[in-house]
Amino acid sequence: MTLRRQSYHRGFTLIEIMVAMGIFAFVLTAMYSSWSSILRASKAGSKAAEDAQRGRAAMRVIQDALVSAQMFTANQRYYSFVGGPDGTFSSLSFASHLPESFPRSSRFGGLGIRRVTLNVERGKQGQNQLVVRQTPLCMDTEEDEQAFPVVLAKDVRLFELTFWDQRAADWVDEWVYTNQLPKLVRVSLAQGVGNDHRPLSQDEIVTRIVNIPSIAVPAVLQVPGGVPGAADLSRTNNATPVPRTPLSRGNSVGR
């Protein structure tokens, strides 16, 4: 009697297949997590670099406006310098002889002396954004300028202005002498991402101290007819500070 040798072809059991699929899924999950982390880090780095660049550009715009600030004491309703707290953030409004390189200068047709207003507003997506509006002297704010101001910085967490008060020999957060120009203005700006409520570190805050080279031109030196309102010279007293007028968002002060 001859015995036949039977050959068996061994395959994978169901358990082995399930274990292999589990290991494969684990590897895919690890690869996806690593790739997602790389993408998030890349986006965060790009956002930080973009915010830093925008912050430097915003500071440059603010500096350009402040160093060109102008003041004529006989025309306070046109040249008043108003700055101080506006809710959580600071705001600022003043007249300046802006350079041609200033944003949107071309749309004002050579009217270089304009009122500049800086404040922080809510954007369409709910983020805080630092905006600047411009208005030629003796004119109303244009509808487009009111509705679509220049956005200097987004996701603003800090916009703080302080002014050097020579009388107190200290920094103050509100400039009450609206018929005079402060000698120094300290500007602090910080940006964040989303609803970031953690405390700010000093490395995240960009601070600049701007020296305003101009001084208020006394009424006795103004030529009648040379500037708006120059005929009212007798009613101007340069020694008496003008009370601060509350700053309205997007509007010129004193009109």
Question: What's the Cα-to-Cα distance from 9 to each of 5, 12, 18, 98, 128, rounded to whole Å?
Answer: 13, 10, 20, 88, 70
pLDDT at 252 over 80: no
Report if pTM > 0.75: no
pLDDT at 162 over 70: yes
User: Taking every pair of C-alpha atoms in the chain, what is the biggest distance, in angstroms?
Assistant: 139
Tokens found for residue 12: 């994978």
Task: Give the Cβ contact number of residue 229 at 10 Å.
Answer: 17
Instruction: Say how far apart CA 47 and CA 27 lie, in whole Å.
Output: 30
Work out the average pLDDT over 121-126.
Answer: 88
What's the mean per-residue pLDDT of the chain?
81
Asked if residues 217 and 73 have their Cβ atoms less than 8 Å apart, the reply is: yes
Quote the pLDDT of residue 255: 31
Quote the pLDDT of residue 10: 65
Tally the C-alpha atoms within 13 A of residue 15's C-alpha that lie toward its C-beta: 0
pLDDT tens-digit readout, 203-251: 788 999 999 998 888 877 776 555 454 444 334 334 344 445 444 444 3
CB contact set of 192 (below 8 Å; sequence gap of 6+): 155, 157, 204
- E strand or H helix at 29: helix 14-67
Quote the pLDDT of residue 200: 83
The secondary structure of 173-215 as a DSSP string is SSB--TTS--SEEEEEEEE-SSS--SPPPGGG-EEEEEE----
**CA angle 158–164–169, rounded 5-degree value:** 130
Q: Where are the domains of the chain?
A: 48-235
